[in-house]
Amino acid sequence: MTGDLQALWLTALLAGVTTALLIPIATPLAWWLANATSPLRSGVEALVAMPLILPPTVLGFYLLIFLNPDAALGGLWVSLTGESLTFSFSGLVLASLLYSLPFMVQPLQSAFRAVPKTVLETASFLGASPRDRFWSVVLPLSKRGFLTGSVLTFAHTVGEFGVVLMMGGNIPGETRVLSIAIYEHVETLNYDAAHILALGLVGFSFVSLWLVYRFAGERVEVVRG
Amino acid sequence: MNRRLCVRGQLQRGDFTLDINLDLSLEHTTGVQGVTGAGKTTLLRVIAGVEPAFQGSVHFGNECWSDSEKRINVPTYQRGLGVVTQQSQLLPGRSVQANLDYAMRRAATVEPCLSFGEVVAGLHIEALLTKGVETLSGGERQRVALAQALLMKPRLLLLDEPLSANDERQRQQIGERLSTWVAALDLPMIFVSHAPEELERLTRHLVVMQAGVIAAQGDTRAVVVADRAAIQTTLDDAIRTVSARVLRVDPAEKTLTLAWDDANNLSGALVPDSHVLVRIPRENPSASLQVSLQSEAPQNQSQSAKGVQTQGLAGNEPDEEQ
């Protein structure tokens, strides 16, 4: 049971760190996607949405290839931090950032698109620079987008399984998150323990989505997960 | 202070072309007049710097605000403007007070300005300060937008039908106050409107736009008077007025029988079911009656022509007996 509590804590930490890091990463990206007229936009949009349809095992497989200590990127990380990116918590955070990116970017992008151009124009008539307009007009009007993006990112990271299995494995306190713990309980025929965790996750997912619909209104389109 | 405004260039949007060569001294408040679609709003937006498709240049005083050839474009927020557009968008989710604060905090501080209390009282918005902007009426929104524009201490006021949603009394009152303020501050102002009376009250120089070009400009009064004369001439060409005498009035049949003077030979001018306007003096109905013949047949002739008959005097055969 202590192992499961540890898994619960690790999962919450992973989801929290991922959400906190994704907000500053996804905000400029979503703003660019919402306003860009560049032909590159559709390409970037497709890349951002890739984790929605790509099997998590594929993502996990490539991360394993590129992040292992013998690869250039993974080796660089080892020489900088002395820690490996595969089979480690940092590696899981990096993987989750990629895996959950669309869940943060897409709600933000539609929130930014919904800010009327005329309102931005008015703010510029009132002497606001583009940066000023973003902070004083766009952000307050996009609160719901941030709420939706954060809840979905958090919940989606909690449900991560394939990627973790591929590149994280099952190291208690390091990479053994809830979904892995459930899998292990089932493998060892410990159905009671599996039930507790599984039911907990069902409840958690429901509450997350309820929060989104309750506070973010009907304008939100929940992306496929 | 040099406040000459020069706008030169073109803007193409679908079928509409704006082709402007305008040089305004802005010594006096300047009006822009024209029918809907003449390009008044677009001209103002070019001056404000929010029409990226504009090919040409805008200069204010010694400053170059935009020049598409030299790739110069001073962004709107650095031009020191006070802008009110027709559908003024206030900042949503904020109170009126917060909207005014937003403008004041970003104001250029160098110019002399009106006090907050003065503007708020003068535009009748004291009672609105704590309200959210979503609850305001169209007229109230316009007055708040005007207050924002004045409170941000602009170097040039650009007002596009800023009072159109207010009633006539408010328009007059606020118009007078606005005149006093811009005169006291010596603030250049461009005021777009399609109401000649408002332009006569508020401006001394007038630019008339038509189909994307400047059709005329000059002293407001002279332009408005000339405009009225032109309208009258058009009316005179289209309408011929003859006098006639009422022979019979039949309220039951809603039929009026008229007799015209010998001098007006109308036998060819009127046909059954054609449309005429009968002008009847309100004060003294027995005095005279005028019948106006419109040169073009209107569409709903059957309704309006019903019940009017004409009959020649002195042996002229009537066109039609019913």
Same domain, B203 and B257: no
Same domain, B127 and B268: no
Residue A44 lies in a domain: yes
Stretch 118-147 of chain A: residues touching chain B, C-beta under 8 Å: 118-119, 121-130, 132, 136-137, 140-141
Same domain, B80 and B199: yes
- pLDDT above 60 (res A195): yes
Residue A76 lies in a domain: yes
Residue A225 lies in a domain: no
Q: Identify the residue with better confidence: A155 or B288.
A: A155
Residue A57 lies in a domain: yes
Domain limits at A102?
2-216
Same domain, B175 and B263: no
What is the per-residue pLDDT for A84? 84
Angle at B120 between CA B119 and CA B124, to 5 degrees: 115
Answer positive or negative: Cα dihedral of B211, B216, B221, B226.
negative
Length of chain A: 225
Residue in A with minimal Cα distance to B147: A126
Which ipTM was obtained for this model? 0.74
Interatomic CA distance for residues B8 and B15, integer angstroms: 20
Which residues are CB-contacts of A97 (< 8 A; sequence separation ≥ 6)? A18, A21, A22, A25
- pLDDT above 60 (res A8): yes
Residue A133 lies in a domain: yes
Residue B318 lies in a domain: no
What is the per-residue pLDDT for A33? 95
Length of chain B: 322
Residues from chain B contacting residue A137 (CB–CB below 8 Å): 91
Helix H or strand E segment including B277: strand B276-279
What is the 8-class DSSP label of residue A134? I
Same domain, B42 and B154: yes
What is the per-residue pLDDT for B315? 37
What is the 8-class DSSP label of residue B130? T
Residue B201 lies in a domain: yes
Contact criterion met (CB < 8 Å) for B91 and A119: yes
What is the per-residue pLDDT for B141? 93
Confidence of residue A225 (pLDDT cuts 50, 70, 90): very low
- pLDDT above 90 (res A101): yes
Angle at A86 between CA A83 and CA A92, to 5 degrees: 100
What is the per-residue pLDDT for B302? 37
**B277: β partners:** B292
CATH number, position B176: 3.40.50.300
Same domain, B78 and B198: yes
Same domain, B257 and B191: no
For residue B80, report the phi and psi dihedrals to the nearest 5 degrees.
Answer: 70, 45
Residue A98 lies in a domain: yes
User: Could you give the number of structural domains in chain A?
Assistant: 1
Same domain, B173 and B280: no
Same domain, B196 and B55: yes
What is the per-residue pLDDT for B210? 87
Residues from chain A contacting residue B79 (CB–CB below 8 Å): none
Same domain, B198 and B265: no
Confidence of residue A126 (pLDDT cuts 50, 70, 90): very high
Write B68-73 long-range contacts (CB < 8 A, 24+): B68/B9, B73/B49
What is the per-residue pLDDT for B281? 66
User: Could you give the number of structural domains in chain B?
Assistant: 2
DSSP alpha helices (H): ranges in chain B? Answer: 40-48, 96-105, 116-122, 138-151, 168-185, 196-202, 220-238, 301-305
Same domain, B202 and B110: yes
CATH number, position A74: 1.10.3720.10
Say what the alpha-carbon torsion angle B83, A119, A40, B74 is, to the nearest 10 degrees.
20
Residue B199 lies in a domain: yes
Span A148-167, mean pLDDT? Answer: 91
Query: Which residue in A118, A119, A127 is closest to B106 by CB distance?
Result: A127
Same domain, B87 and B201: yes
Residues from chain A contacting residue B76 (CB–CB below 8 Å): 121, 124-125
What is the per-residue pLDDT for B255? 82
What is the per-residue pLDDT for B107? 83
Residue A158 lies in a domain: yes
Residue B255 lies in a domain: yes
Contact criterion met (CB < 8 Å) for B87 and A124: no
Residue A24 lies in a domain: yes
Domain limits at B283?
238-312
Residue B218 lies in a domain: no
Residue B321 lies in a domain: no
* pLDDT tens, N- to C-terminus, chain B (322 residues): 688 999 999 999 988 999 999 999 888 899 998 888 889 999 999 999 999 999 999 999 999 999 989 999 999 999 989 999 886 689 998 999 999 999 998 887 666 678 899 999 999 999 999 999 999 998 999 999 999 999 988 999 999 999 888 888 899 999 999 999 999 888 999 999 888 888 888 999 999 888 888 888 888 888 877 776 666 666 566 666 677 778 888 888 778 887 776 666 666 666 677 667 676 766 665 655 666 665 444 444 333 333 344 433 333 334 443 3
